[in-house]
Amino acid sequence: MVDRRRFLAAAGAGATAGVAGCLGGNGGGDGGDDGTITLGAVYLLSGVGEQLGASSRAAVEVAVEEINENGGIMGREVETFFRDHGSDPQSQIRSLVQEEGADVMVGLTSSGVTLNSGEVIRQLGVPFTLTDIGTPFITESDTDTYGDYYQGNGTAAAVPNLFRTNANTSINCYAIAKWVDDNYGSARIANMGPDYAYGQQCWDYFKAYSDGLGVDHEYVASAFPELGANDMTPQINQVLDTDPDLLFTSFWGNDVVTFVGQANEQNLFEQVDDVFDTIGSDPSSFEALGDSMPEGLHYSGWYWGSAFDNEENEAFLDSYESTYEGTGVNPYPSFTGGSSYAAPYVYKQAIEAAGGTDPDDIVAEMEGLEFTGPRGTWTLDPDSHQATAPTVIGETSLDADVPYDGVGLVNAETYSLDRSAAEDLLSDSDLPPGV
């Protein structure tokens, strides 16, 4: 498990005092003054990430409504407070614990924000479950091998009270690397992605896993437009000038719409054999693009409804569609839908096993917790706190069975990755598995 003493020692006595002062009897175990259990949530609900944050919020709300309709948690209703990241996400996290008395937390919508918030989350001590985050660093606990991110000498950034229910960048990029190897073999590959931690890490992990699989790709170009860029044409032309066979991308949200629209204008899709994206399989993006989204591309995500054949998934899809049909929210869950929907249920299972909302007791129950839901049965790893849930790759098609106008995914496949295999494949790199 994550070494809690290491974090306290690193922070010093001031942080220990801060924990007591921050909690102040208002969060992390009281369950609210009126007997409710309080769930705090922080997502990007405005700006470039609004589409993704809103989709995650929608899935959380479906889960909480179902839980409350079926007796709550230990007979207590769950009350949820949502906050936008805003310009100071750490203050939002603190406020939900200190002012709203959050017993448990979910979020976030940015790898960079998550890494910058790790120390605050640790100090507050309240269980925090990530539902939308790519960076493998935040679930890497082996500081001996990879160094300590918070000491400034490495990439292992695991936090004792932080968990993740979505498959991360390590798993996503392994899946794409394996799919490319199995279906295309060696190729000339270019990259495009957002110019921040997420996009850069995706490209690094894809190359590292491809090398580990023994694939002799030629990497011909790499271009990083800024997150939320209005004009990606220079980067698209930079890539096209190198005549790649395949294009690897890591766009999400509105960036998918911008990229596809401008790539169409430059005839990119006629000049490459295939395009891959790590978390671009978002119904809202597909709906916005309509029939301008090319078919036959391979897009990925942490969830797609048709990829899972089980009763829990059918029930989730039905509940989500009936909740949001005709409301302005796309009635098909986003790629964060499975992980966001799971988080409140994971807390229900852990709190009921712990017999209350003491944060240390909840964390202890979550370490190694086995959960069955829309994505099948998976486990929260007791050491890394990373879910063993799979990632999905599918083919864009207008023939997909979706409740909106636009492409969906067909021929969807799921991929999982365990730590031993990841360590072996990444052995020639310095990248942490994070699983």
Is residue 134 located within the same domain as residue 101?
yes
**Tokens 């220990």 label which residue?**
16
Cβ-Cβ contacts under 8 Å for 224 (sequence gap 6 or more): 192, 193, 194, 195, 199, 200, 235
Structure tokens at 31: 């369950």
Domain residues for 209? Answer: 169-307+390-425
Per the prediction, the chain carries an average pLDDT of 93
Question: Are 172 and 134 a contacting pair, CB within 8 Å?
Answer: yes
Confidence at residue 48, expressed as pLDDT on a 0 to 100 scale: 83
Confidence of residue 327 (pLDDT cuts 50, 70, 90): very high
Is residue 191 located within the same domain as residue 102?
no
**Over pLDDT 90: what percentage of the chain?**
89
Cβ neighbours around 152 below 10 Å, total: 7
Cβ neighbours around 412 below 10 Å, total: 20
323 falls within a domain: no
Give the CATH number for residue 355: 3.40.50.2300
| pLDDT of 254 above 50 | yes
**Alpha carbons 13 and 20: distance in angstroms, whole number:** 11
Kindly tell me the burial class for residue 261, based on how many C-beta atoms sit within 10 Å of its own C-beta (0-12, 13-18, 19 or more): middle
315 falls within a domain: no
pLDDT tens digits, residue range 192-205?
999 998 999 999 99
Confidence at residue 23, expressed as pLDDT on a 0 to 100 scale: 31
28 falls within a domain: yes
Window from 85-89, 98-102, 267-271, 404-408 with minimum mean pLDDT: 85-89
Is residue 201 located within the same domain as residue 298?
yes
Is residue 120 located within the same domain as residue 194?
no
Question: Are 51 and 285 a contacting pair, CB within 8 Å?
Answer: yes
| pLDDT of 2 above 50 | no
Q: Residue 427: what residue type?
A: S
Structure tokens at 380: 């929260």
Is residue 160 located within the same domain as residue 180?
no
Closest CA to 176 of 230, 117, 78, 248: 248
Provide mean pLDDT across the span 189-193.
98
Listed ranges 6-15, 48-57, 233-242; the one with the highest mean pLDDT: 233-242
| pLDDT of 1 above 70 | no
Is residue 12 located within the same domain as residue 126?
yes
Cβ-Cβ contacts under 8 Å for 416 (sequence gap 6 or more): 167, 171, 388, 389, 390, 391
Confidence at residue 130, expressed as pLDDT on a 0 to 100 scale: 98
Provide mean pLDDT across the span 78-95.
96
37 falls within a domain: yes
58 falls within a domain: yes
Confidence of residue 31 (pLDDT cuts 50, 70, 90): low
Is residue 189 located within the same domain as residue 108?
no
| pLDDT of 34 above 90 | no
Q: Residue 324: what residue type?
A: Y
pLDDT tens digits, residue range 291-314?
999 999 999 999 999 999 999 999
| pLDDT of 8 above 50 | no
**Alpha carbons 219 and 319: distance in angstroms, whole number:** 44
Is residue 227 located within the same domain as residue 145?
no
Confidence at residue 209, expressed as pLDDT on a 0 to 100 scale: 98
| pLDDT of 431 above 90 | yes
364 falls within a domain: yes
**Tokens 């990530």 label which residue?**
130
| pLDDT of 263 above 70 | yes
Window from 23-37, 260-274, 325-339 with minimum mean pLDDT: 23-37
Is residue 402 located within the same domain as residue 366?
no
Is residue 363 located within the same domain as residue 412?
no
Is residue 291 located within the same domain as residue 184?
yes
pTM score of the predicted model: 0.92
Is residue 252 located within the same domain as residue 342?
no
326 falls within a domain: no
Closest CA to 362 of 37, 131, 8, 21: 37
Number of domains observed in the structure of the chain: 2
384 falls within a domain: no
Confidence at residue 49, expressed as pLDDT on a 0 to 100 scale: 83
